[in-house]
Structure 1
């Protein structure tokens, strides 16, 4: 029978699979993958020993240059030899063996991209690339990796007991609409092999004079928590695009911009070349899990910032007539969320290019393309089946939310509205004293007087700013400034829904409503600031408009986590370190891709070594009694303090008054059953052990999977004193009055969290902070538990 929260899975008809229903607790759990017998007992070869490989891998990981590597090798050669031999001689030998090891995986190839510009002699541009199909085959032939892939499009539903209906939800790309549509175009039994494509120009040197242009791909058939991580099953650099230097003679000219875009698409076309034919006719192969599949590779998501999306889609950018890469909205109507505008498609674009090509004069051709903000260049993605770039470009929460709409616009407006010294000082102070929390930046220095390039810092500032600024002004003192605080509240709500890891039909409806609320509140602010000497042109902010496409992207391609640029931008730091520490700053592209490939090979060898070690480890059954009451599947207590008596704890402050009596009463009631009465009685002389850290594992209502929270009540955590007196609510939140105790009874440890209750202030219900900014105030309660 159907139970509340049951999950129903409908598979694409071409799969031949019947629908299934799973219990909520079982949904999303991976089937156990049987351990493979290691292919080699010496996976570190061609290194002469495991010790040699580990030392070389350490030198690579630490970005050691030749001088540092030779010094490390000399030190080890002078050391006494242990059970394993260390035989390396110097940096040169290490590099030679790395080159031998490089044959394990798909190596970079070099190609010269030649594109003519006007009547000048064509200049070859150097491209380094890995054929994408070779990378895909590495994944498909790996039994462990391919066993975790999903192939068939799915429609997922959760049973809502309240309405007695099945409600659809979306998570991974295969649960969204695009995958279903792609599989509908394939032969029966065939499956999509979907790719996430990312490219971005990065600064390699501190002053930005040296640049790199990596292309990174991920396999969307793998779950997000796998493909978004580092490792052989995560992202892979498959290209190092040529950087066309800006020449003062040509800068700003339309034909020079077209030339640079042509170089980009010719280079990208070379990277994609190996999958063009297979995207149309498919490829049949036996995968690493011994299953024969008919595979059709395609690009389902292009993950990038706005500037890169314009290059991918060959549009003319922010100042053009139609700046959006997904639709044809005019440039001065970007805040229009009421009217519908035509969507761009690859088919439509090819037709426009064809019409423009029929024009005789250059001016007539330009006139046709200009009204659609298109460039006269053939798109590299047009050669692939089921890979429409205008559909693939996606909302990115980093560039369009945190660093974009918030960092470039709302935050800058806050600096204008709250620019007086008193307000800035108060806001900075509250940021400084805000309690530290896991995965939350702490801002010691000024926030209001600083600029941030880190999108994750902008994200944290956007979540905290309202709590730091809510009292610096009133509606009477600064009407526009107070409206901006309302805008911030609407922005937080909008981002909260957007960032959900699982989206149901209900949350998407609420999310769309939150965008409407944000836009209407922002329009009030725009009106109130229209009489400025230089009013902000909000109608031209492209990153506001992108929120219009947000939930369409989620419905078509899955939640934002799968489209985010964040996992790919984590490559920037290591690539920059390779340039700074391991090249001679000459002909750097060749050196960078060589060392980047060594990193990939090292990861692959380490995976094999760990699998070999695991295989040789004797598996022993874990005794049932090994699990401790202080360390089990549900929670772990830590930060243990010295044991003391109840009396000592009670004498330390009134908050612990009568603690031994309250604990006795609580445990007696807890352990008493209908058939057995338990009477526990502690005295002031009985000992108790305090703990100040609790690791709690629970089922997340956001991800529907196991999550972990760290709860701390250390009086001094990360150098910040948390006093045991009631601190101001706006600065200390609810950190106070928590301590975790371990009492003993009949030789058993009994863990107990001691918490002081708080209660919602009834008097605040009509307050403007509750009504307008949706703040809730809590006060101390006399009750403890």
Structure 2
């Protein structure tokens, strides 16, 4: 980033796509010795662009076993719309009256639809009902468990020919050359240590099949009185972009666990707590039954419901961590290391309990343990497979419940004026695609982890001028804690980890602890604060955190709640919801095949011209840029100057553009029209304004192509949007540099037979006055040039988009929001901006 006095921007390359790698970058993949595969070395272009390219999943009749596509689409519509029998019959009668003979649909009644569903459902693994019994207060209690046999579900995946090309079986160690050496990185589970170690323990020619299981209670009714305990499964052998979806190869509900009814008289009693644990583990055993035999061959199991699955005695026991034996009064201390739990040690305590109830109970209590269903699974170690969940531990836990709660308490102590200032600054926060916008946050409680995460990304910029060192010293110390937390959160968020990022993440955990020790107002001794001790070891063992995130499974609670409210009679809901889930499974299965078929046919018929004219946000494009949302009519240069006469950035618009073009064109070997030595623009020359830009760039975080969506519009959904970007240019001495700019006006202009993509921008490379809070809160401060110093650039000089938010108390100063994504975060950390 430049700190020179304002000077005109040098001219940037018209055609070069900004790159984040050097020619020395290569990637090495070592396969497990038992795979029999040789080590491979690939160039960046092969690895970065081709690693995810698989043969397209195409089925010419993907609607099978429905009779035709229209039959499936009608059944899907009726299911999603929650139509009952009478509604379905009436709709079909209406359709046949209107279009009889013109549409390819064979359904005549609700029965036809049901028969089609049954025919399709018969090809999928159904649920089974089990009954478990236990004694409580001298009574025999019965509970029902519904399971889709795990092994049968696995066979459904394995036998699907469309998924076959996407399965990965052999452990890999992958490396990227940084110009000096090969540095190992981690992303998918098979690139991490646990997969390698499991495969090493297996017989020759055996490979792991990885189940990723998620179980958590959810409230079905708004009053919270009706609860459900679904279990979801995903296959770790499929790439994350398939595994973490709801469609083909994605997550599936495989279990419905019993819930012990609430009893106010019994609540909190040891016998009642034990009853709940026994029922849960007995129920989960039914889910595991079909794989216990196969577990002897060494399947990998990854579980997320941490305390219940590990069966520790709860968050208030002597050792509340399900992974290590950290004492309950040392949970804040991530600088110390404690012994890791093992099933062997725990089972020894149980054997002692069988011989001596008093001594055994004391030994179990000391370790915070109870007997565990996963000990019945051969070669299973629940303490290794349990993972730290990014959503609950960080966004809802450390941040949402603790840090954010503390911040709101400080704001309230400063008075309503401070709270209003924070809310007003949230309301005016710069908008960005896929970032939730908030009008106020100080007096609202959020339970949505995604919203809490987005609040955290904006909080430093909206509170740095409220919780100041002068007005609230403790609140300022809290902001320093939050800045460190955000760094940990960004490192955990990486989809690809290197040895360097893991080292930096672990170092930040210790940095966070030093800030917590300064902020002594709150007791930080709780289990989720200890999670950071293990999160990066989890990543080394299992790959990037999104491999064991609960976020994809949490959203599957939504359909269950909708089914309960709209499509059940609120009685015996388990049977009804399981039937609805099975229909959804079939619908998603068929729909995914139809969508793939449509996509492949679309690619064959859609011309390049149509692609270039389509401004859909999701439309693929191959170039570095796609400029869209053109105004209906062309605009003269005189009109531009007239319409923006109150904006000094547009002063001498035509003169500046003339000077720019006469330097830009020759320097890029673009000939002027015949016989012209100096291009002159008249007031009536036309340009075509555009208000939307897609920029494709190579991410420093994933080494894959990534897209930013930028707007330059006086009114986008009712708000002015002038997005910012990082561009590549040169200083006055011809040296390369990157600076940030604000997009003021984007347009196409034709010179001779060439169409140029250009923009008027306001450079953000003036020298700001550095402040102590910039260092303390690790903020990147920028300063805009005066409006009259606006410059023209070619849009091809843009590297990527950028989110800049004003420093509300210092006019002309801006902060770079480097927490907006992992690419921008790493660029700042590596000083690549």
TM-score (norm 1): 0.88
**Aligned residue among 118, 121, 126 for 1:99:** 118
Instruction: Summarize deviations over 1:187-238 as a string: whole Å, max 9, x none.
Output: 1221111111100111011111111111101111111111001113000111
Compute the displacement of 1:72 (Å): 2.5
Establish whether residue 141 from structure 1 lines up as the match of residue 159 from structure 2. yes
Instruction: Summarize deviations over 1:384-418 as a string: whole Å, max 9, x none.
Output: 34432111111111111111011111111112111
Compute the displacement of 1:615 (Å): 7.8
**Aligned residue among 566, 573, 586 for 1:588:** 573
Structure 2 CA distance for partners of 1:22 and 1:85, relative to 1, 3 Å:
closer
Q: Distance in 1 between matches of 2:142 and 2:275?
A: 13
Q: Distance in 1 between matches of 2:184 and 2:467?
A: 44
Q: What is the root-mean-square deviation in Å for CA atoms of aligned residues?
A: 2.7
Paired position in structure 2 for 1:252: 268
SS at match of 2:367: coil
Paired position in structure 2 for 1:130: 148
Paired position in structure 2 for 1:770: 774
Instruction: Summarize deviations over 1:714-743 as a string: whole Å, max 9, x none.
Output: 11122224599xxxxxxxxx8954221111
Compute the displacement of 1:311 (Å): 1.0
Paired position in structure 2 for 1:749: 755
Instruction: Judge which range, 771-780 or 51-60, deviates more.
Output: 771-780
Q: Is the 8 A contact 2:333 2:513 kept in 1?
A: no
Establish whether residue 20 from structure 1 lines up as the match of residue 40 from structure 2. yes
Q: Distance in 2 between matches of 1:63 and 1:302?
A: 33
Paired position in structure 2 for 1:709: 708
Compute the displacement of 1:349 (Å): 1.6
**Aligned residue among 575, 582, 585 for 2:560:** 575
Q: Is the 8 A contact 1:127 1:267 kept in 2?
A: yes
Segments of structure 2 that go 5 or more residues without pairing to the other structure are 1-21, 616-620, 724-739, 793-833
Q: Distance in 1 between matches of 2:429 and 2:62?
A: 52
**Aligned residue among 506, 511, 515 for 1:512:** 506
Structure 2 CA distance for partners of 1:390 and 1:485, relative to 1, 3 Å:
same
SS at match of 2:562: helix
Establish whether residue 175 from structure 1 lines up as the match of residue 191 from structure 2. yes
SS at match of 1:318: coil
SS at match of 1:759: coil
Q: Distance in 1 between matches of 2:125 and 2:44?
A: 41
Q: Is the 8 A contact 2:233 2:254 kept in 1?
A: yes
Paired position in structure 2 for 1:565: 550
Structure 2 CA distance for partners of 1:658 and 1:617, relative to 1, 3 Å:
closer
Compute the displacement of 1:269 (Å): 1.5
Establish whether residue 389 from structure 1 lines up as the match of residue 382 from structure 2. yes
Paired position in structure 1 for 2:433: 438
Q: Distance in 2 between matches of 1:335 and 1:491?
A: 14
Q: Distance in 2 between matches of 1:151 and 1:503?
A: 21
Q: Is the 8 A contact 1:158 1:166 kept in 2?
A: yes
Compute the displacement of 1:312 (Å): 0.3
Q: Is the 8 A contact 1:106 1:135 kept in 2?
A: yes
Compute the displacement of 1:479 (Å): 1.4
Establish whether residue 363 from structure 1 lines up as the match of residue 358 from structure 2. yes
Q: Is the 8 A contact 1:7 1:23 kept in 2?
A: yes
SS at match of 1:150: coil
Compute the displacement of 1:747 (Å): 4.1
Paired position in structure 1 for 2:235: 219
Establish whether residue 10 from structure 1 lines up as the match of residue 9 from structure 2. no
Establish whether residue 521 from structure 1 lines up as the match of residue 525 from structure 2. no
Paired position in structure 1 for 2:813: none
**Aligned residue among 627, 649, 654 for 2:640:** 649
**Aligned residue among 451, 455, 464 for 1:461:** 455
SS at match of 2:519: helix
- Give 1:89-488 correspondences, 5 Å limit: 89-91=108-110, 93-117=112-136, 119-121=138-140, 123-161=141-179, 164-281=180-297, 296-299=298-301, 301-303=302-304, 308-359=305-356, 362-375=357-370, 377=371, 379-419=372-412, 420-444=415-439, 446-488=440-482
Instruction: Summarize deviations over 1:419-443 as a string: whole Å, max 9, x none.
Output: 1111101001101111221111111
Compute the displacement of 1:100 (Å): 2.8
Compute the displacement of 1:24 (Å): 1.6
Q: Distance in 2 between matches of 1:723 and 1:169?
A: 37
Q: Is the 8 A contact 2:741 2:761 kept in 1?
A: no
TM-score (norm 2): 0.84
Compute the displacement of 1:342 (Å): 0.9
SS at match of 2:713: coil
Q: How many residues align?
A: 736
Establish whether residue 552 from structure 1 lines up as the match of residue 551 from structure 2. no
Segments of structure 1 that go 5 or more residues without pairing to the other structure are 282-295, 530-535, 725-733
- Give 1:48-67 correspondences, 5 Å limit: 48-67=67-86
